Structure 1
Amino acid sequence: MRLKFVLVILMLMGTHAFSQDDDLFAKEYFENGDFEKALYEYKKLYAQSPSNINYINQIVSSYQQLEQYNEAEQFVLSLINRVKYPAFYVELGYTYQLKGDLKNANSYYTQALSSIDQNVNNVFAVARSFQSHTLLNEALAAYEKAMTMKSDFNFNLQMAQIYGELGDVEKMFVGYINFIQENPIAVGNIKRALSDFVTEDSSNQSNILLRKIILQKIQEEPNVIWNDMLSWLFVQQKDYNKAFIQEKAIFNRDPESLSRIEELAAITMSENDNQVAKNILSYLIETAQDLDTLLNAYYNLLQLQTKESTKEDYQNIKDSYNALFKKYGTFSQTLNLQVAYAHFLAFYMNDTKSATTFLERTLELPLNDTQKAQVKLELGDIFVLREEFNTALIYFTQIQRSLKNSTISQEARYKVAKASYYKGDFDWAESQLKILKASTSQLIANDALDLKLIISDNKYDDSLHVALKLYAKADLLAFQNKNDEAITLLDTILKEHKTEHIVPQALYKQAQLFESKKDYVRAEANYNAILTNYKESILVDDATYALAELYVNHLSLPEKAKALYEDIFLNHADSIYFVDARKKFRALRGDAIN
């Protein structure tokens, strides 16, 4: 008896397996456009499961694709006689529409809509069937009828999507906003949907419409969700000051967390809107109650002030750091400030001795291994700045030993490679960089690959590595903030090593240094030199993107930038700039942001 039961189970399993295989075959035939074979397979499946709606739909679709409209008609009529499923009326109507019989088509569409009067829940099948055949006005009619009949139903989302497909942007916006009103938890998804229709241009008609609809909601029913939506729209438009006003309004109504305002500060800093960033950070300093938020705001504000400073400002910045240490102390919570202060002393005030002494005292604090590594990374950088490479390597190696396989350990390994490269030990640097190509940090992996290519592409040009050593020295000078000296040394490479692989790399590095000095015309000349004379260089996409950014951000030549962005996504599909270039091209063309 048990054996017989097992045999039955095995047979059923075998039948199920064959059914799955047949399903896969049918699906593959349909997707490949082999509708005759698809129809044959789906008929077999339908014979086994005559209630499977997927098989039914695929049989009808196969008939329609084969233009066998009479067969489709007979099949659907037989289904309607057997099962009163309202979506079948849509399928029958669509079959008549394909035959050119609009009278019968509209008659069955009307029957499908009338079925909602009999049972409001029929809207789900009917509307979905209309949408599957791009009968969008009929789908809208179905949703509207159901919402009128049953107030609990909310099809604003589906209707908004349909209005979007129909190009009725205003009704689409209203639908999405109405949906958020009932489903505030979905606000993130709605923002993503709306981002397809707004641009960075505040004068764009869609932006104006959306702003008008949100402002009307604020007047009708004040709610922080509308301030949130308005803030989001202003961020899309890069109008960060207006976004800040909305974020303050949100915080005043719900003063539990400043995280949203901190996030806005981070966006403005990344977009180099420094004045608004400073205003936001000052507000955080005035408002924050918890120490972490307060110290982080001070840290970012000092970073911005340092970025914009001249030598005349250095003493004031130094005094600001010391005032903070006097007020809040030097302990683990002020660690970021301590490391930043040492960096400022060494790299801006050229006081490396005070910087290292300060950090060595910081290491005596009760810090965890990761915090100690953060201090040692900066110490290592300062010893590289002083060209005391062996001491720097000791600190970087200590990090690798204490925090194996961590991101900060990988960063330390990269700095080992960079220090070795600066001192001319190219073989050891290259061996470390090979390991880092598989780094879990994409940024470190990319930096490692770039440096490895500089070494491997140029160390064979001459056995003494003269040009490569000069380039590494120029790179070190740039690291030491000695940009004028670095530019001069790169000029030596360009004059004395014209036939070597290092030339486009020297041009690119020099262009970046020109940009840092705001010498945009000379930067443009260097980038163009790469694009004109070194078309096979691996730096072509880097130079193309950098030049486009230069035209947009500094030289006010958007049309030239647009052509360069387009060149990247048309001719450099494997470039790391591909996605950004396409997005920026579309923004310059006036497309919606995606």
Structure 2
Amino acid sequence: MRFLLILFLCFCSNMFSQEDIVAAEYFKNGDFEKALLSYQRLYNKSPNNNTYLIQLVKSHQQLENFQEAESLLLNQIPKFNYPPLLIELGYNYQLQNKLYDAEIYYNKALETLDENPNYVFAIGKTFEDKSLLEHAITAYEKAMALRPELNFNVQLARIYGEQGNVSKMFESYLNFVEINDGYLNTIKRAFSEFISEDSENENNIILRRLLLKKIQSDQNLLWNELLSWLFVQQKDYNKAFTQEKAIFFRQPESLDRIEELALIAQADNHLDIALNIFTYLTETAQDADTQLKAHYYRLQIKTQMATPSDYPEVLSAYQDIFTEYGKHTQTLQMQISYAHFLAFYKHNSQEAVSSLKQSLELPISGFQEAQIKMELGNILVLEEKFNEALIYYTQIQRNLKNSTIAQEARFKVAQTSYYKGDFKWAESQLKILKSSTSQLIANDALDLMLLITDNKYEDSTQTALKLYAKADLMAYQNKTSEAISLLDVVLNEHRGKTIEDQALLKQAQLYEKIKEYHKAENNYLSIITNFSDDILADDAHFYLAELYRTKLNQPEKAKDHYEKIIFNYQDSIFFVEARKNYRFLRGDAID
């Protein structure tokens, strides 16, 4: 008997569930008469179910049966202490434009908070659902005044955002995160929808003023952290550095945040401030690891910014570090960097190779050995000793199978084979790398494979491709002017061949390197004009837009080319960045 009862209850429950779904579907599709009948049946079977009642009321309202809706609510309200029913009745009056009567019942709902502030969860949501935002604000603020431990600042912030009251929205979010700092990243994401990279944007100014006010009245470092974050969004890295130093001064446990800021500034090509921050780290850090890491990045930046006349100073800085810290496993990255500088900038490959071979004698791990051999291979390619370089790359592949550095070594094998004109072997290696676990390696492999595949059949002697590969090698060897001249040969002697747009693009990038920006501009425009249907058209639009935006100070032209990518090349790898930069130039908030 008990089993039959359970079975019957399960059957009834399932039946109710199905009917509920049907009723909801009718309402969703605008078939309100059928929805009314379905909800009436459900309510008749469960007269204590306020969900069915409210849906029944809504169905009546859609059919403008306001009196029937009113009768249902007036009949139900005395039976249940459920304040949202008062709001529903008030809203029924509002739909009839009886605003005075509506306000009476809205206020009655709000008055129930005096009896029990916990009613606010249902009251606030009901007001929000009906877009009665001022009443929702009143409900949340009243509940928090009655019960200070309640925190509805997120709800308030969302409502203020809908109303366009950005100042109060920011203030509510700040009040919330002050008590719930675990939600800091969530709040940052919310802020990012309203601020932009422009420090003069009105919303940026509002947030900055609120944070500065908080800092003046409250010693909570959370405000310094948020202000630093805002400055980073604006690319005001120097101001962010000031905030990070203030945080470190009061909490000197770790320099990780300052190091992260330096890396962000470096990645964004703000080299002067990045250099300044890394210098601060070398002077402030107490442990050798942090000092060495800062020295390493500092020298990378100094090398990047240096002209040949500055090279003796860079060389001296390396030697000073080895004098202070020694040559052992802790300074291994510095040793590899030093060898790279000797070979690629001082053109002293012999000393670089000798230095790296000494590093191989240290008690190092297999991965560290692979890093040294990778640089040895790179230097041998620089010297055009391709076969010796291939030996080192192959050793890395064999010793660290399936690792990222092994995949990088395979790419180096392919690239070296390409440089020496062995396109068939290069292509076979690149096909394997297309599915590399490293997206960067996979993309590089695909680009090189397409270059070879697109150009290897047009000329049986592959003269144009060999010339291009030689120019590519010269670019790798920092022989920029020679590479540009050789690409001129490709463009003059192989005009109309498939290699032409690739040569124009490569040459444009080399022109940018030596700051011949207008020559680069002409190359990009030539690709856009003459090869608009080819695979490099979106590359040309993007690089030209970047050139206009960052070097030539022509934002309107930059916008035009970003717009071309957005509307004509939606599958481009540059689409997301183009859209972001376009919106920034247009003055939109950060997406």
TM > 0.5 fold call: yes
- With the shorter chain as reference, the TM-score category is over 0.9
Match in the other structure for 1:470: 467
Distance (Å, rounded) in 2 between the aligned partners of 1:112 and 1:223: 38
Cα deviation for residue 14 of structure 1 reads 7.1
Cα deviation for residue 462 of structure 1 reads 2.1
Cα deviation for residue 142 of structure 1 reads 0.5
Cα deviation for residue 301 of structure 1 reads 0.5
Of 378, 400, 415, the residue aligned with 1:418 is 415
Q: Deviations over 1:20-77 (max 9, x none)?
A: 7766666666666666676677677777877777666655555555666556555555
Match in the other structure for 1:213: 210
Match in the other structure for 1:189: 186
Equivalent pairs: percent with the same residue? 57
Give the match's secondary structure for 1:593: coil
Match in the other structure for 1:238: 235
Of 283, 308, 312, the residue aligned with 2:305 is 308
Matched pairs, number: 591
Is 1:379 aligned to 2:348, yes or no? Answer: no
Q: Deviations over 1:262-296 (max 9, x none)?
A: 01101111111111111111110000011211111
Distance (Å, rounded) in 2 between the aligned partners of 1:449 and 1:51: 65
Structure 1 unaligned regions, length at least 5: none
Match in the other structure for 1:360: 357
Match in the other structure for 2:558: 561
Q: Deviations over 1:451-505 (max 9, x none)?
A: 1221222222222222222211111111111111111111112112222221111
Distance (Å, rounded) in 2 between the aligned partners of 1:72 and 1:433: 71
Distance (Å, rounded) in 2 between the aligned partners of 1:37 and 1:259: 63
Cα separation, partners in 2 of 1:353 and 1:84, compared to 1, 3 Å = same
TM-score relative to the length of structure 2: 0.93
Of 109, 116, 120, the residue aligned with 1:119 is 116
Of 466, 473, 481, the residue aligned with 2:478 is 481
TM-score relative to the length of structure 1: 0.92
Cα deviation for residue 200 of structure 1 reads 2.0
Cα deviation for residue 12 of structure 1 reads 6.9
Match in the other structure for 1:101: 98
Distance (Å, rounded) in 2 between the aligned partners of 1:130 and 1:436: 57
Match in the other structure for 2:541: 544
Distance (Å, rounded) in 2 between the aligned partners of 1:265 and 1:239: 12
Alignment of 1:30-69 (within 5 A): none
Cα deviation for residue 257 of structure 1 reads 0.2
Alignment of 1:491-502 (within 5 A): 491-502=488-499
Is 1:318 aligned to 2:318, yes or no? Answer: no
Distance (Å, rounded) in 2 between the aligned partners of 1:142 and 1:320: 65
Of 239, 260, 274, the residue aligned with 1:263 is 260
Cα separation, partners in 2 of 1:257 and 1:99, compared to 1, 3 Å = same
Distance (Å, rounded) in 2 between the aligned partners of 1:250 and 1:418: 46
Q: Deviations over 1:67-106 (max 9, x none)?
A: 6655655555555354332122223333433343333332
What amino acid is the match of 2:514? K
Match in the other structure for 2:154: 157
Distance (Å, rounded) in 1 between the aligned partners of 2:23 and 2:384: 70
Of 568, 574, 584, the residue aligned with 1:587 is 584
Give the match's secondary structure for 1:367: coil
Match in the other structure for 1:226: 223
What amino acid is the match of 1:559? E
Match in the other structure for 1:503: 500
More displaced 10-residue stretch of structure 1: 187-196 or 38-47 = 38-47
What amino acid is the match of 1:153? L
Match in the other structure for 2:201: 204
Match in the other structure for 1:89: 86
Match in the other structure for 1:129: 126
Is 1:146 aligned to 2:143, yes or no? Answer: yes
Cα separation, partners in 2 of 1:344 and 1:103, compared to 1, 3 Å = same
Is 1:400 aligned to 2:400, yes or no? Answer: no
Of 166, 170, 181, the residue aligned with 1:169 is 166
Distance (Å, rounded) in 2 between the aligned partners of 1:39 and 1:496: 80
Distance (Å, rounded) in 2 between the aligned partners of 1:44 and 1:419: 78
Structure 2 unaligned regions, length at least 5: none
More displaced 10-residue stretch of structure 1: 360-369 or 61-70 = 61-70
Distance (Å, rounded) in 2 between the aligned partners of 1:144 and 1:301: 52
More displaced 10-residue stretch of structure 1: 15-24 or 290-299 = 15-24
Match in the other structure for 1:292: 289
